[in-house]
């Protein structure tokens, strides 16, 4: 923000104040000389000059000042073109829209988003974009402004939210990043929505169609698999009592990779009876050197719970490419 100086008034004030300030200016100059001398002596002694004390902030006053600042910002912002408001006081603007058939989340759904969070002065305090990794979380476990706002979106949409303090972090703020009673601005891109009912329907539809494809076999449990490559004859097949060494890659139905021993550059070794049911059953169908692709129903994977906090949502079907390197014992 540029500060405009009223030159005539400022000059007049300076002239009127000059006689009274002359003595004070001299005193300040002398004090500066003393500070410089102390610093010079400290430097000679190999000591750092003491840092000037930071002014103390009155938390109560800061909360009051921020509340007034937030109220003014939101009042001004509400009249800007394209800005809409909800009864709660949440403001938002549609930056871009996704496809017409994009899913809209409910509060209990898990969402995958990219976002950038800023204060009203433009200071960025958090960004999934800067980290290079989208965030995934249950929508009912974040600040109220997010829970309400993201439900207005559909997959592929990008919105800008202007969130009042009472729908953000309130009087407490978030230490180190967000002060008390700060209004916040978030640019949010809704990438994907997942929820137990939605995911189960998608899993059933996928598995029904996938089971009809050439080369795909199914077991009585509902596990599906196809043989990608066979190892040498005579390779051992494990039981659920064995420990195995494998390379693998795990994907969601949309192709997102959520785990990969290949990416880590080393295989993993584990007891076959200590993993999800789809793995325990499926790997027993293999012999050393084989590479299979497994299509695992939610009931044989992580079920209705998924993996809390991500990356696997509730009732997600999973796809694993698994290479059985060795039956260890």
Residues identified as active-site: 115, 125-126, 143, 169, 186
Which residues touch 217 (CB under 8 Å, ≥6 apart)? Answer: 224, 225, 226
Report whether 274 contacts 283 (CB < 8 A): no
Half-sphere exposure of 316 (CA within 13 A, CB side): 26
DSSP string, 249-318: EEE-TT--EEEEHHHHTS-EEEEGGGS-HHHHHHHTT--TT-EEEEEE-GGGTTTTT-STTSSS-TT--E
Report whether 223 contacts 295 (CB < 8 A): yes
Report whether 296 contacts 315 (CB < 8 A): no
Q: CA–CA separation, 186 vs 90, rounded Å?
A: 12
Tokens of 183: 């209004």
Q: CA–CA separation, 58 vs 56, rounded Å?
A: 7
């Amino acid at each position: 923000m540029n500060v405009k100086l009223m030159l005539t008034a400022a000059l007049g004030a300076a002239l009127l104040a000059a006689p009274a300030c002359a003595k004070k200016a001299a005193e300040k100059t002398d004090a500066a000389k003393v500070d410089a001398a102390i610093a010079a002596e400290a430097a000679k002694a190999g000591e750092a000059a003491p840092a000037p004390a930071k002014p103390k902030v009155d938390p109560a006053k800061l909360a009051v000042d921020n509340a007034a600042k937030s109220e003014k910002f939101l009042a001004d912002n509400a009249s800007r073109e394209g800005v809409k408001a909800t009864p709660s006081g949440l403001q938002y603007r549609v930056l871009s829209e996704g496809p017409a058939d994009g899913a809209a989340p409910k509060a209990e759904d898990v969402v995958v988003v990219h976002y950038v969070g800023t204060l009203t002065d433009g200071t960025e305090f958090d960004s999934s974009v800067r980290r290079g990794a989208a965030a995934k979380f249950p929508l009912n476990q974040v600040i109220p402004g997010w829970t309400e706002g993201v439900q207005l979106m559909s997959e592929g949409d990008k919105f800008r939210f202007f969130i009042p303090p009472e729908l953000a972090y309130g009087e407490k703020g978030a230490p180190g990043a967000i002060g008390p009673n700060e209004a916040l601005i978030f640019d949010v891109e809704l990438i994907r929505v997942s929820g137990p009912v939605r995911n189960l329907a998608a899993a059933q539809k996928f598995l029904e169609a996938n089971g009809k494809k050439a080369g795909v076999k199914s077991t009585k449990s509902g596990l599906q698999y196809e043989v990608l490559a066979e190892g040498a004859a005579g390779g051992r097949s494990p039981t659920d009592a064995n420990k195995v060494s494998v390379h693998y890659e795990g994907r969601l139905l949309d192709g997102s990779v959520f785990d990969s021993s290949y990416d880590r550059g080393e295989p993993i070794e584990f007891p076959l009876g200590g993993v999800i049911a789809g793995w325990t059953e499926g790997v027993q169908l293999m012999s050393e050197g084989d590479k299979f692709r497994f299509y695992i129903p939610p009931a044989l994977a992580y079920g209705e719970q998924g993996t809390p906090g991500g990356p696997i949502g509730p009732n997600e079907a999973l796809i694993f490419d698994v290479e059985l390197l060795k039956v260890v014992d």
